[in-house]
Structure 1
Amino acid sequence: MIFQLVQQLVQQALATQLIEREDEIYARNQVLALLQLEEYKEVEIGESIQEISDLLDRIVEYAVEQGIIEDIFDVKDIFSSKIMNCFIARPSSVNQQFYEKYQQSPEQATNYFYQLSKNSNYIQMKRIRQNIEYKAATEYGELDITINLSKPEKDPKSIELEKHAKKSNYPKCLLCIENEGYAGRIGHPARSNHRMIRVNLTDENWHLQYSPYVYYNEHCIVLSEKHTDMKISPLTFERLLAFVEQFPHYFLGSNADIPIVGGSILSHEHYQGGNYQFAMAKAGADWSFTIDGFPNVECSVVKWPMSVIRLRSSETGNLVEAGAHIFERWKAYSHEALGILARTSETPHNTVTPIARKNGDLFELDLVLRNNRTSDEHPLGIFHPHADVHHIKKENIGLIEVMGLAVLPARLKGELEEVENFLLGKTDAVAEYHADWANELKNNYGTIANESNVETLVREEVGKKFLRVLEDAGVFKRNEEGEAGFRRFIGTL
């Protein structure tokens, strides 16, 4: 059986163009060595060949049964990653192929690399398919909702081993370039099958990779070669626009650079992008304005629950300068009546979440205004999801949420089913923190007799909660007072 599984894996590697026919024997021998097999028996593999991820799972099971590896989550992931590394070219070859395809078109290059990252099982498509994904209609367009089930829970033995694992500073973090080809260890993910594309941004070395747990199509990460702290500056805008100039079918954005207002690793400068159009990108202008000194830049406030300024121009340099002007004014701006203070003593509060894209012949730079102040009433953040939505979303609102995609915790899968059964009259028990919401839904809709539409109803209500999350995070609320405050800030430009 093991020889059958190995040969099926080799066949799938050939079918997905991970290897060429000349590589077949070499790759198979590499896998046999990992499995401590000194010979190979020719076998019939049959017509129904399983997917690479399923074959890997079965080969890893064999390795556990034979005592080759321990039955520990991290150890099994490391072994699986090493197996796939037998089928992937070295980084220099991957980069060479990428840029050969780039000469044809940027789309061909990224499509090649995305398929490679999926076929090599670096992007964990089998796990990702477990996520619950749907769209929720709102006045701002369709918001994307994802209940994240793709990251499996570790077994108790793995958690215990992680507690006692020897501390190491190599790689310094999960984003460092030293992760490329790194075997992994207890507490640090396996990266033997990891490859990165070298990208030049503003005469600096950056690296393009895909997220192992993609939340949308071609969800990529562009990271600095240097392990340096996240920092928003005019150079950030320049880099984002330089990237979309090279890859005009992708957007690229950055999380905010201060705590609370971004769900990110602040210790390593990096951006996120991809080939996907979020609801925020589709949103039109609420009202337009001009800024003295920037006649070639179209400026508008976007019709979006958060506070977004959109700049458009055919010249990226104009956008960088206009963006820098707005950013400097925002960092120093206070409006106490609206809870906006630029700093408390030496602690800064204002920053932006910037996003760049190409739209037709024009470049766009969106600046989402952020503030990370806290108060006694809102200890997790004044412009953060408020307590009444924490039962759905309590985590920080980062770049992905800002654009209109809710990444919700796995606990909601079972909890929302409980709420559905509560509305159907099948149970009186829901999680305590959902009780007020569940009772409110029952008061609004009564006991629902039709099982076929209860899931749709609850999903729509979750969408409304996520919209509330975005409204909470907006610094200028979408009411008369908020609009007046926004216009007052625009007046300072």
Structure 2
Amino acid sequence: MIYQLIQQLINQAIASNLMEPSDEIYARNQILSLLHLGEFKECGTETQLDTPDLLEQLAEYACEQGIIEDIFDEKEIFTSKIMNCFMARPSTVNQLFYEKYNQNPIEATEYFYELSKNSNYIQMKRIRNNIEYKVDTKYGELDITINLSKPEKDPKSIERELAAKKNDYPKCLLCVENEGYAGRIGHPARSNHRMIRMNLQGENWFLQYSPYVYYNEHCIVLSEEHRDMKITADALKRLLSFVEQFPHYFVGSNADLPIVGGSILSHDHYQGGHYDFAMAKAEDDWNFELDRFPDIQGSVVNWPMSVIRLRSKEIGHLVEAGEHILSTWRNYSDESVEIRANTGDTPHNTITPIARKKNDLYELDLVLRNNRTSEEHPLGIFHPHQDVHHIKKENIGLIEVMGLAVLPARLKDELREVEKFILGETQTVANYHLDWAKGLKEQYQSIASPSTVESIVREETGKKFLKGLEDAGVYKRNEEGKAGFKRFIMSLS
């Protein structure tokens, strides 16, 4: 049986263009070594399994033979090493990428994306576990994802991780040193990981895909240098330089302050991909001109958060206008709408920038952010408020800003309980959902049925996410907010 599994995996690798048929014997011998096997027996392969299933069975064999321990991290490290037996070295991957890039950038990214999936670096089998749907709103269709792709670690792995000696290599999950790194307890396996070298404004940067993609070709662009994320004019230049090189992609950065920033602020990086979020499709709410930048088309976007959109054919002009808005915003206060630039030496204002190209125009979206807290809103004044924490309590980062909710796995079962509560099949739900569930039951009890209740709860969950986005908007979508936004725009001239 073990030889059948090995041969099936080799066949899959050849079929998915991970390697050439002439590399078969070499790859087989590498896998035999990992499995502590000294021979190979020719065998039939009538049953065809997918790569992730084959890897699971090979890992189980390794556990049974005492080659590795039966714990999550060791199995991940082992299967990553197996897939690396089929992988070309980074230099070869980069050579092939840029050969395709010279023909068409789309061919290059499609090649690298397929490579990352076929090598099981992108864990597509786990990603398919995610619950994904869209909710129609007055701002367009919001994307909702309940994230079920990251498996829970077993108690042994957690115990080993707590006991493991601290190691600062690689310094973080985004460092270039992760490329080909075997992994260890508490740090993910990356033997089958590859990165594309690129130049952004004279610096070495790297392109990779997220191992748990949330949308099509969800990529990460990271600095060679392990340094804190900063939103500056140089950052705007790099974002626009990226879309100049890959005009079919958008790219954006999380904000650079706690609460409004992303989960990793210690490594300068961006996220992008080949996907149009609802925010990218949102129309202009109202337009404005900047006296200092007459060739820039400026608008405020019809979106729950506070978004300034700049358009121009010239990247340099966009950067100059964007830097002017950023520097003005960092020092801007308007107490009438609770915006304060600083508390003592602590800054509060920053932006979430996003770049893309549409036809012959470059677009630069600047989402205004403020991370102040108050007694009423200790997690953030411009952060999802208490009434939506049962659905979304985490930061509103770049992906959420654009209209994709990444919701916690607990909601899979909890929302099912809410559905049962509405139908009268149970009287208990999680305490933090209770008021919401009672309101939904009162509103929908007369029309809810086993065939409709799921769509009702999904739509109402989307409304909660939308409310979180509205909470995060520094200028609310009302007359007072619009007047405040216009005061800021006037301050730019």
- For the criterion TM > 0.5, the same-fold answer is yes
Aligned pairs for 1:407-426 (under 5 A) are 407-426=406-425
State the 1:430 CA deviation: 0.4
Aligned pair count reads: 492
Would you say the 8 A contact 1:132–1:149 is kept in 2?
yes
2:352 and 2:477 mapped to 1: Cα distance? 19
Secondary structure at the counterpart of residue 452 of structure 2: helix
State the 1:325 CA deviation: 0.5
The AA in structure 2 aligned to 1:44 is G
Tell me: CA distance 1:449–1:135, structure 2 relative to 1, closer, same or farther (3 Å). closer
The AA in structure 2 aligned to 1:38 is G
Aligned pairs for 1:479-490 (under 5 A) are 479-490=478-489
Deviates more, 1:301-310 or 1:57-66: 57-66
Would you say the 8 A contact 1:182–1:190 is kept in 2?
yes
Deviations 1:119-149 (A, max 9, x none): 0000000000000000000000000000000
- 2:27 aligns to what? 27
Secondary structure at the counterpart of residue 182 of structure 2: coil
Aligned pairs for 1:56-67 (under 5 A) are 56-67=55-66
The AA in structure 2 aligned to 1:34 is L
1:49 and 1:309 mapped to 2: Cα distance? 52
Q: Which runs of 5+ in 1 are unaligned?
A: none
1:282 and 1:14 mapped to 2: Cα distance? 40
RMSD in angstroms over aligned alpha carbons? 0.6
- 1:101 aligns to what? 100
Aligned pairs for 1:58-457 (under 5 A) are 58-446=57-445, 450-457=449-456
State the 1:263 CA deviation: 2.4
Deviates more, 1:48-57 or 1:20-29: 48-57
Deviations 1:75-109 (A, max 9, x none): 10000100000000000000000000001100000
1:264 and 1:275 mapped to 2: Cα distance? 22
The AA in structure 1 aligned to 2:16 is T
- 1:473 aligns to what? 472
Deviations 1:3-31 (A, max 9, x none): 00000000000000000011000001100
1:264 and 1:326 mapped to 2: Cα distance? 25
State the 1:448 CA deviation: 5.0
1:168 and 1:199 mapped to 2: Cα distance? 28
1:340 and 1:128 mapped to 2: Cα distance? 39
1:293 and 1:90 mapped to 2: Cα distance? 49
The AA in structure 1 aligned to 2:11 is Q
Deviations 1:126-184 (A, max 9, x none): 00000000000000000000000000000111111111110011000000000000000
Tell me: CA distance 1:449–1:106, structure 2 relative to 1, closer, same or farther (3 Å). closer
Secondary structure at the counterpart of residue 290 of structure 1: strand
1:49 and 1:104 mapped to 2: Cα distance? 35
State the 1:262 CA deviation: 1.8
- 2:14 aligns to what? 14
Deviations 1:297-339 (A, max 9, x none): 1000000000000000011111000000000000000011211
Would you say the 8 A contact 1:425–1:447 is kept in 2?
no
Deviations 1:391-448 (A, max 9, x none): 0000000000000000000000000000000011100010000000000101111255
Deviations 1:204-260 (A, max 9, x none): 100000000000000000000000000000111100000000000000000000100
Tell me: CA distance 1:344–1:449, structure 2 relative to 1, closer, same or farther (3 Å). closer
Secondary structure at the counterpart of residue 369 of structure 1: strand
The AA in structure 2 aligned to 1:174 is L
Secondary structure at the counterpart of residue 294 of structure 2: coil
1:49 and 1:109 mapped to 2: Cα distance? 29
Identity across aligned pairs (percent)?
A: 73
1:357 and 1:491 mapped to 2: Cα distance? 26
The AA in structure 1 aligned to 2:323 is A
State the 1:68 CA deviation: 0.8
Runs of 4+ in 1 over 3 A off after TM superposition: none
The AA in structure 1 aligned to 2:181 is Y
1:155 and 1:367 mapped to 2: Cα distance? 42
Would you say the 8 A contact 1:355–1:366 is kept in 2?
yes
2:174 and 2:91 mapped to 1: Cα distance? 19
State the 1:386 CA deviation: 0.3
Would you say the 8 A contact 1:132–1:147 is kept in 2?
yes
- 2:42 aligns to what? 42
2:448 and 2:317 mapped to 1: Cα distance? 58
2:389 and 2:490 mapped to 1: Cα distance? 35
Tell me: CA distance 1:408–1:449, structure 2 relative to 1, closer, same or farther (3 Å). closer
1:233 and 1:454 mapped to 2: Cα distance? 47
1:125 and 1:111 mapped to 2: Cα distance? 16
Check if 1:3 corresponds to 2:37.
no
The AA in structure 2 aligned to 1:79 is F
1:54 and 1:158 mapped to 2: Cα distance? 21
State the 1:264 CA deviation: 2.5
Q: What TM-score results when the alignment is normalised by the length of structure 2?
A: 0.99
The AA in structure 2 aligned to 1:43 is C
2:340 and 2:179 mapped to 1: Cα distance? 42
Deviations 1:247-297 (A, max 9, x none): 000000000001000223000000000000000000000000000121111
The AA in structure 1 aligned to 2:119 is S
Would you say the 8 A contact 1:425–1:448 is kept in 2?
no
1:196 and 1:217 mapped to 2: Cα distance? 18
1:44 and 1:390 mapped to 2: Cα distance? 55
1:175 and 1:264 mapped to 2: Cα distance? 12
1:351 and 1:381 mapped to 2: Cα distance? 14
Deviates more, 1:62-71 or 1:33-42: 62-71
2:105 and 2:58 mapped to 1: Cα distance? 36
1:264 and 1:318 mapped to 2: Cα distance? 31
State the 1:49 CA deviation: 1.5
Q: Which runs of 5+ in 2 are unaligned?
A: none
1:176 and 1:450 mapped to 2: Cα distance? 50
Would you say the 8 A contact 1:423–1:447 is kept in 2?
no
1:492 and 1:333 mapped to 2: Cα distance? 9
Secondary structure at the counterpart of residue 170 of structure 1: coil
Would you say the 8 A contact 1:334–1:340 is kept in 2?
yes
Secondary structure at the counterpart of residue 452 of structure 1: coil
1:263 and 1:472 mapped to 2: Cα distance? 17
2:32 and 2:337 mapped to 1: Cα distance? 65
State the 1:449 CA deviation: 5.1
